[in-house]
Amino acid sequence: MSNFGGNLSKWTSVSLGYHNYGRGGARGGGRKPSSAELLTLESESTREWSSFFSSTWKPVWYTGWHTGVLGCAASVVIVLFINISLTIYAATNPEYKMKGGVGTLYSGSCGKSRTIGMWLHLGINVLSTLLLSGSNYTQQCLAAPTRREIDAAHARRRWMDIGVPSVRNLFRIKPERRMLWFAIGFTSIPLHLLYNSAVYTSLAANDFVVTVVSNNHFEPGAYSNMTETLVFGGEQFNSTLRAVGKTTGRYETNSEDIQLFGRVLEGYNTGSERYDDLTASNCTKIYNTEFMSNNRNLILITKLSSNDTHKNTLLDMVNINSTVTSPSDWMCAYNLSGNSRNNRRNKFICDPREKVEISGCKSERTDEKCKVQFSLGIMTVVICCNLIKACSMVMTVVRSREPTLVTLGDAVDSFLRIPDPTTKGMCFADRGFVDRKWRRGWRAVQTQHWKRTGVQRWWTSISKTRWITCNFFCSIIIIITGMLLGVGRARDGRCWETDIDSIGFGKVNSISLVNLYFGNITEPILLANLPQTILSFLYLTYNSLFTCMLSGHEWSLFSHHHRTLRVTSPRPGQRSTYWLQVPYTYAIPLMTLSGLLHWLTSQSIFLARVEISGPLGGETSSTINTVGYSCIAIIFVLTLGTLALVTAVGMGYRPFAAEITTVGSCSAAISAACHAQGEDPEVIIGRKVRWGDVGIDPNLGVRHLTFSSGEGVRKPIFGEVYAGTGREGE
């Protein structure tokens, strides 16, 4: 046990690698230290603090951010266990009828299948949110720089991000951490492209035959000749068949259509108990839909008698094919209010000049066969990505032994303990000065007046690039979605008047289908889930806005009152933290917002699969694979997305707690504010500290702004001269 503890202490102490340039700063102005000097100073710093760290620091995997990553890894492993368990159960359960890599979890009522699918997607998006937030947390920790990496960057007049998600840091951190970052990031893409389509609902629809009969058709001894009915009109019926894609030649009495219609009528005679007697208005309501699920063949009863104009009780028959014509088109030809007329698409054989009044109808009742299905192939990809994430997170904890500066408190602790000579004498340099001048070789050797009046607002802690990127893409997506909603609503209105909420969440109907049909299911899956991937990217940028604003808020509090340093590996007098820069009061609502938006998006645009059976039932005769949309769900997404964007902008206008330099996440600006005056660094970091005016710096001969644990710290005075900015060598 003692050897184990000693090894842990050895790992923590050796891995620090801080560059100690001395508290007095580097001599010789702006001269860059040589490689030999850097190595010597590094060794001296390591020896100086090794005994302290070995006695007071906990093992690295017990520290704050490591504990957080362990928590993320645990949640990802739990999600992995859930995915594997449910997949094995579904794939091996004989009740779910695996066929071609697709299993059927439920078959029956369309309403129930829609409800099951909606709740399953809610669960999927909860798990997806855990994966996304855990990935974001771990990636931020992986991109956090060590002091060694910061010193190397500062020596080359480059700076690194501290306390926020960063892509900039990836080019300056160790390759191993960079590889883990990319492994976690890239596995998120297939997850969001596929996860929501691992489970999908499949609508069962029926093609049907519409038969028009006289009012005495069902009386005993009535004369019914189907062949005579179909052959009557000759070319008119041929044009009807050509319109629905049945044939291009003359109608033959022994064709498949004759046989089909014959079996439909035979089915009525032998199974008339399956037919319900309905009024004309009820028929209109039931058959005024694009995909018939619980009804099939229809018999229209006219007020004509076979003894009047027609000798045959069968007046007309037509086959409605859902993949070619709209199932409600027959209503245009047989208006149930009493008119029989031609239709632009279908020319039925009845005389268009003849008035035919419908007195009632008989509708064949069928069992609904809607399905909730899952894809074994998609779940296999999801599990593989899930596994890579879990392994990468565990490796992050095990392999990341060198302390990193994850929070502002970590950075302040490090820079106060071992001041950075490259930023000495620029005590209130902000991120703007670092970008404009410090990076080009300027140093702070002249004084400058404090000219800030009033406190800054939260949005000033966000870089223009980050702020514009997030708000621009969010606004563009909202505008495009709004335009598509208008197009979809206009398309819905062309078919019939209806309330928008009758469309429902994730409800498949032909008017809410994108006019793109695919030969396989893969293409519509990718198209339907593309918004999920875009939404994940927007969430990460949105989350980074709050991270930057809250980082700036925490920084401003140091100018308002004395505060204990919040660090990931606390020493006596400091406090630990398990969250990075976003407190739980913000993190939990942001996670909830992400999960809710992902779920609503999954109900707004989704995989639409329709399995169509023929008029006689039996096996599926054709399948439609496309993308469906729900206008009401899109409205909810737009409302919530707009509210989120307005909230972010509103938060940006909140004022900081006190006047302080705007450092953002810039390591050089943070370092410039951490050159203590006349106090032992060990004393400062072990107490509550405050940033402000600490009096005249004897080395510079002017007033100085820095951190101090004394009670004499005060806010910067407007117009007062402090160590400022100027060109190196002046």
pLDDT digits (tens, 9 = 90+) for 535-546: 888 888 888 888
Whole-angstrom Cα distance, residue 508 to residue 39? 67
pLDDT category at 371 given cuts 50, 70, 90 is confident
The residues, any chain, with a CB within 8 Å of residue 526's CB and separated by 6 or more, are 193
Residue 33: DSSP 8-state: P
pLDDT category at 56 given cuts 50, 70, 90 is very low
> In this predicted structure, what is the pLDDT of residue 613?
84
> In this predicted structure, what is the pLDDT of residue 390?
93
Whole-angstrom Cα distance, residue 191 to residue 533? 9
pTM value is 0.74
pLDDT category at 1 given cuts 50, 70, 90 is very low
Does a structural domain hold residue 479? no
Q: Which of 608, 596, 624, 627 is nearest to 530 (CA)?
A: 627
> In this predicted structure, what is the pLDDT of residue 583?
82
Q: What percent of the chain has pLDDT over 90?
A: 9
For residues 334 and 653, the answer to whether their CB atoms sit within 8 Å is: no
Per-residue pLDDT at 382 exceeds 90: yes
Does a structural domain hold residue 528? no
pLDDT digits (tens, 9 = 90+) for 470-481: 888 888 888 888
Query: Between residues 172 and 309, which one has the greater pLDDT?
Result: 172
Alpha carbon 508 to its chain's center: 22
Lowest-confidence pick of 55-64, 280-289, 499-508:
55-64
Per-residue pLDDT at 200 exceeds 80: yes
Per-residue pLDDT at 38 exceeds 60: no
> In this predicted structure, what is the pLDDT of residue 74?
92
pLDDT digits (tens, 9 = 90+) for 135-178: 988 999 899 999 999 999 988 888 999 988 888 898 888 999 99
> In this predicted structure, what is the pLDDT of residue 608?
81
Per mean pLDDT, which of 57-66, 207-216, 284-293 is the most reliable? 207-216
Mean pLDDT of 461-468: 82
In the sheet with 690-696, reading across from the earlier edge strand, the strands are: 447-449, 721-723, 703-708, 690-696
Half-sphere exposure of 294 (CA within 13 A, CB side): 8
Mean pLDDT of 391-415: 87
Write the CA distances from 476 to 210, 443, 480, 490, integer angstroms.
48, 42, 6, 21
Whole-angstrom Cα distance, residue 603 to residue 8? 50
Tell the burial category of 208 from Cβ atoms under 10 Å away from its Cβ (0-12, 13-18, 19+).
Answer: buried
> In this predicted structure, what is the pLDDT of residue 500?
47
Q: What are phi and psi of 112, to 5 degrees?
A: -70, -40
Q: Work out the angle at residue 618's Cα, subtended by the Cα atoms of residues 613 and 624, and round it to the nearest 5 degrees.
A: 25
Neighbour tally for 529: CB within 10 Å: 25
Q: CA gyration radius for the chain? A: 36
Mean pLDDT across the chain, nearest whole number? 75
Q: Work out the angle at residue 550's Cα, subtended by the Cα atoms of residues 549 and 552, and round it to the nearest 5 degrees.
A: 65
Q: Which of 348, 317, 321, 316 is nearest to 332 (CA)?
A: 348
> In this predicted structure, what is the pLDDT of residue 350?
39
Per-residue pLDDT at 506 exceeds 70: no
Residue 95: DSSP 8-state: G
For residue 670 the two structure tokens come to: 């943070």
Per mean pLDDT, which of 160-164, 217-221, 522-526, 566-570 is the most reliable? 160-164
> In this predicted structure, what is the pLDDT of residue 312?
76
Torsion of CA 81, 84, 87, 88, to 10 degrees: -110
> In this predicted structure, what is the pLDDT of residue 380?
93
pLDDT category at 180 given cuts 50, 70, 90 is very high
> In this predicted structure, what is the pLDDT of residue 609?
83
Domain end marker among 355, 371, 387: 371
> In this predicted structure, what is the pLDDT of residue 354?
54
Q: Which of 665, 655, 404 is nearest to 545 (CA)?
A: 665
> In this predicted structure, what is the pLDDT of residue 501?
45
Q: What percent of the chain has pLDDT over 70?
A: 75
Per-residue pLDDT at 83 exceeds 90: yes
For residues 163 and 406, the answer to whether their CB atoms sit within 8 Å is: yes
Domain end marker among 345, 371, 397: 371
Query: Between residues 183 and 285, which one has the greater pLDDT?
Result: 183
Q: Structural domain tally of the chain?
A: 2
Q: CA 30, 36, 42, 43 torsion: positive or negative?
A: negative
Does a structural domain hold residue 134? no
Q: Is 224 helix (H, G, I), strand (E, B) or coil?
A: coil
For residues 343 and 243, the answer to whether their CB atoms sit within 8 Å is: no
Does a structural domain hold residue 315? yes
> In this predicted structure, what is the pLDDT of residue 232?
55
Whole-angstrom Cα distance, residue 429 to residue 75? 41
Domain end marker among 53, 70, 87: 53
The residues, any chain, with a CB within 8 Å of residue 1's CB and separated by 6 or more, are none
Query: Which residues constitute the domain of residue 214?
Result: 204-371
Mean pLDDT of 379-397: 92
Does a structural domain hold residue 251? yes
Per-residue pLDDT at 611 exceeds 60: yes
Whole-angstrom Cα distance, residue 24 to residue 697? 12
Does a structural domain hold residue 37? yes
> In this predicted structure, what is the pLDDT of residue 634?
84
> In this predicted structure, what is the pLDDT of residue 574?
80
pLDDT category at 724 given cuts 50, 70, 90 is low
Q: What are the DSSP calls for 363-410, one per residue?
A: EEE----EEEEEEHHHHHHHHHHHHHHHHHHHHHHHH--S-B--SHHH
pLDDT category at 85 given cuts 50, 70, 90 is very high
Per-residue pLDDT at 239 exceeds 70: no
Neighbour tally for 442: CB within 10 Å: 21
Helix (H) or strand (E) holding 417: helix 408-417
Lowest-confidence pick of 57-66, 173-182, 244-253, 333-342:
333-342
Does a structural domain hold residue 453? no
Does a structural domain hold residue 253? yes
Whole-angstrom Cα distance, residue 50 to residue 327? 80
Mean pLDDT of 120-147: 90
> In this predicted structure, what is the pLDDT of residue 26?
37
Lowest-confidence pick of 75-89, 364-378, 482-496:
482-496
For residues 311 and 388, the answer to whether their CB atoms sit within 8 Å is: no
Q: Is 264 helix (H, G, I), strand (E, B) or coil?
A: helix
Q: Which of 74, 68, 76 is nearest to 127 (CA)?
A: 76
Q: CA 704, 708, 712, 714 torsion: positive or negative?
A: positive
> In this predicted structure, what is the pLDDT of residue 53?
41
